[in-house]
Homo-oligomer: A and B are copies of this chain.
Amino acid sequence: MSMSTPSTAPAPSPGVILTGDRPTGPLHLGHYVGSLCNRVKFQHTHRQFIMLADAQALTDNMDDTGKVHRNVMEVALDYLAAGIDPSLSTILIQSQIPELAELTFYYLNLVTVARLERNPTVKQEIALRGFERDIPAGFLTYPASQAADITAFKATLVPVGEDQIPMIEQTNEIVRRFNRVAGREVLVEAKALVPEVGRLPGIDGKAKMSKSLGNTINLGASADEIRAAVKKIYTDPLHLRVADPGHLEGNVAFIYLDAFDPDQAGLAEMKAHYVRGGLADSLVKARLEACLQELIGPIRTRREALAQDRGHVLDLLRAGTAAAREVAARTADEVKAALGLRYF
């Protein structure tokens, strides 16, 4: 049977995405803006793997392995509640795919110690965690592990912050080196996908929303927790009386409204009023609280419902991990065959 084909060629495949989180705590609004929203969009247009990086999280949590275990379920609940659809995205648990460790093992032969030590992201994280000379080796070799994760799924796009771009470059160096050893294109290079939306500050005005700073609003926050957080939110320290002109720069209430208020025209009017003077912080906060209650309410409700049937969530994780493992095992096979490690 012959059919006339449409004149336009089929669109090229938009690519494979690898993304994920270290399960060390519940996800918050920072994750929502910075990555979850994009994942919910991309799952309709891209093949998307979302990794619960539990093995990676152990690197600096060997003193509290239980935390990592518990948070695999918590983060999975956050994913599903926020709209990640396991029939569109493949959610996987890193530690359940031994092939990722295998690839890491071989990639360690393709990168020198000096090169790892020069990696700016590694350098920065070492400083941040105060490791200095007592870095666990697994921390130094993290770029090889990340290269394993990315290449195992032949990911071509990796959503990362600007500061993580050197990690993707490191992966691509390993890819090129491996392909040179193999004498053919076994692995594919990946591109960093830097989100347009900047990082969401913490409710205290600090640059980063982070569990350890206690300045987050979690995706599972109760109505009371949202209310309390908005009450504490950092606004304009110079805006002492209602009549005073207010400032928008660094004003977290307005930064959040920019991110979450669906009525941006109404928000623009409110901003103008605030800058002129005569608008109380309490009114700005009331608007923000309404937005956040509306955003988080349905997520929390879905989350609570899902949490009632953790067995079902585990089934989803099991299925996603099995599907992902098939892909990773195929890559590990190709990699090992290219290294002459196929005998039977």
Contact = CB atoms under 8 A, between A and B. Distances in A.
Can you list the 10 inter-chain pairs with the closest CB atoms, starting with the nearest? A69-B340, A108-B138, A101-B105, A109-B138, A65-B340, A95-B341, A101-B102, A98-B98, A108-B137, A114-B133
A116 interface: yes
B72 A343 contact: yes
A9 interface: no
A127 to B, nearest CB: 15
22 contacts: A58-B341, A59-B109, A62-B181, A62-B339, A65-B181, A65-B341, A69-B343, A96-B341, A96-B344, A98-B98, A98-B102, A101-B105, A106-B138, A108-B137, A109-B138, A111-B136, A112-B134, A113-B136, A114-B135, A116-B137, A317-B343, A317-B344
Contacts of A58: 106, 109, 339, 341
A314 interface: yes
B55 A314 contact: no
A141 B54 CA distance: 21
A50 interface: no
A66 interface: yes
Contact of A55 (B54, B96, B114, B341): B341
Counted per complex, copies of this chain come to: 2
Given A96-B341, A141-B141, A318-B343, 5 more contacts: A59-B109, A98-B332, A101-B105, A114-B133, A137-B140
Contact of A136 (B54, B108, B139): B108
Interface of chain A, helix or strand or loop or mixed?
helix
Contacts of A289: none
